[in-house]
Every structure is written in C-alpha cells, then in structure tokens.
Amino acid sequence: MRRLENILVTGGAGFIGSNFIRLLLESAPGFNGRIINFDALTYAGNIASLLDVQAKFGGKRYFFERGNIQDADLVATIFEKYRIDTVVHFAAESHVDRSIVEPDAFVQTNIVGTFTLLEATRRYWARRDGVLFHHISTDEVYGSLGEINTFTETTPYAPRSPYSASKAASDHMVMAFYHTYGLPVTLSNCSNNYGPYQFPEKFIPLMILNLKEGKSLPVYGDGRNVRDWIHVDDHNRAVWQILRQSKIGESYNIGGENEWENIHLIQKLIEIIAKALGADTDELNRLITFVKDRPGHDRRYAINCAKIRRELNWERVIGFEEGLAKTVDWYLGNKEWIDGVRSGVYRQWIEQNYKER
C-alpha cells in the first residue's frame, strides 16, 4: 500500500499545482495526509492563489517551503523534515514562447531540477515500500500530428521546441531512474489545461482578458492549429487516481478528447464574453489579429485516453461548454487576483513575506 501521508508537491503555487493542492485537501476521497508545497515563486508561481488553503489548513495539513528544486541540500532537508513519502512533480518552466527566447532556464529547471529531485528520492527512500515519485509531463513531447490519429503512451517522442525537448529529457530521466535504480515512479502526459488561477500569458486567460479590455487577439499563423483541452480539475482527478491505483513504472496519457482549432476557440470565447458583458459580437470579432507564426509551431495535438480509462477507471466529468463558461466567469470576477499578478503587487508581497532560503 502506498502511504500518501506526506506529499511533496513541487510547483504547488502554479496553475495546475495550486488547483491540485486544493482538490486534495478539500475533496479528494481517501486523503487524510499532509501536503508540502515546494515552489520557487517565479513569475508564474503565486502563493496568493492558496491563501484560503493556508487559512484553513496551514500548520496542520498544509505547509509551504520556498526554494528551488535545483538546490540539492534544501531538497534533502525538506525530505528529512517532513518525512516525504510521495512526490508529485509539477514544477516546470512551461511557456513555449519563453523557451524560444530563454532556453537555458528550461534546461536548468526541467532537466537539472528533475534530476535533483530524483537523486533526493533515490537516497532518502533507501527502502522503496509505499513511496512514489509521480512526474507531470505534456503531450508536446510527442511532436506534431497530422489530421488523423492520436497520441498514445507508445507514440515515439519527437519534441520540436526547447520547452518540449526539456520535458522529453526529464521524462526519460524519470524512467531511467526506475529501470536503473528501481525507483518507484509513474508518469503522465497531459493535453492543454484551462481553469482558474492560470497566469494570464497562457492562451485562454489572455484571450479572455484582452476581450474584456478591448485589446487585440493575436493569433499565430492561420489560426488552424489544433489543441486538445481539459479542465484542470479533471486532470488533477486523474493524477490522484494514478497516485492511488497505478502500477509502478507506468505512464498515462490524460486528455479531454476535445479538439479545437485556435481560431474557433477564440470565436467561442467571443460568444461567451459578448453574452456576459452585453457586448457586440461583431466588434469583438474585429479584435482578432493574425500574426507571424512562431518557430516550430506544432500543427495538432490529440490525446488517446483509453489506457487510463481502462486501467484506473478515470473519466473526465466537466464538459467543455460548462468548464469554459465557468472559467470566463472566474476571470471576469477576480479582478483583484488578476491586477495583483499583472501589476507586481503580489510579487512585492511575496518578497516581503516568503523569503527564499
């Protein structure tokens, strides 16, 4: 039996990680343990996303440690201090555009940082009973699909950006520690997530906020690139299923089976926001601006989820229309969080209250 008593969540102040922590502490069936949120609080990590969790569970079942996953001494200290028996590794540099401009940061965090965590677990978990290292990855490691077929767990890796290459390298390192050292690991590759608390540089929140403010809606190339979208809560429920029920050494694809061309998704957002704000749809459509395509832009991603459905009995439960409408409502209704992220107010508050070791 896996212990699941002291779970280290790396990148727990980020978009998916913060939602995962909230899910486990508030509604995950069968979880009564502690969560240790380990985050460097870089630009996309916002501890303010978990203030309600801190108020309710802080010092009892929720603990925060600020630091870099590349700091081997600090990682070792945290393992000892909290008697870590499970790692859920969300921490990553994840924005493709940034990886094109600053690829070195992606190599350091995604490859070196993952290696540092693996080494810590290998040394601390001298006995392998009841422990697990779960690595969160992306469908982008598989490269680009044509108009048919989907990614499965056996699809060959073919990364085409510095971001996806760094994630592919970290995936291979995780599996190498399993095969070489017997480290208990699992791995999941997920499609595009959407939902609350996502940093506004990402596609859906960027488009929502630009629509609200009457700014242009930049669309790469012809807008026909296809992505598979899944609500962050459905993704995190899948991760929880993996932690509880999966076989060691297995990888699982997690997706929404919900493909949208970028241009059609923008048009859907325009439809929802026009209704919410009482705005003119034609006026909002005029904000669409086609821009030069980014280098190495993959044409299509699509996930096959048959394995996780079959082996772990997971299904997504949030329909896209429902989830997208709730996401729009969240961004329209959380001005303080958005203004704090954009203005640097939260960054100043973080530096005053959460010193890095």
Backbone phi and psi for residue 291, each to the nearest 5 degrees, phi listed first: -125, 165
Backbone phi and psi for residue 88, each to the nearest 5 degrees, phi listed first: -115, 110
Please tell me whether residue 251 adopts helix, strand or coil conformation. Answer: strand
Annotated catalytic, 139?
yes
Point out the catalytic residue in the list 163, 178, 194, 331. Answer: 163
Q: Residue 342: CB partners within 8 Å, gap ≥ 6?
A: 200
Strands (E), the chain: 6-10, 34-39, 62-66, 86-89, 132-138, 185-190, 192-194, 217-220, 226-231, 251-254, 259-261, 288-291
- Give the full edge-to-edge strand order of the sheet including 34-39: 62-66, 34-39, 6-10, 86-89, 132-138, 185-190, 251-254
Check residue 83 and give left, alpha or beta (phi > 0: left; psi -120 to 50: alpha): left
Annotated catalytic, 140?
yes
Q: How are the residues of the chain apportioned to helix, strand and coil, as percentages rounded to the nearest 5?
A: 50, 15, 35
AA identity, residue 284: L
The CA distance from 29 to 39, in Å, is 25
Point out the catalytic residue in the list 65, 85, 93, 140. Answer: 140
Point out the catalytic residue in the list 39, 85, 93, 139. Answer: 139
AA identity, residue 22: R
| β-bridge partners, 290 | 219
Closest CA to 132 of 180, 101, 71, 86: 86
Q: Residue 293: CB partners within 8 Å, gap ≥ 6?
A: 220, 221
The CA distance from 14 to 65, in Å, is 14
DSSP-derived pairing of the beta strands 34-39 and 132-138: unpaired
* Four-CA torsion 117, 120, 122, 126, nearest 10 degrees: -150
What residues are labeled active site? Answer: 139-140, 163
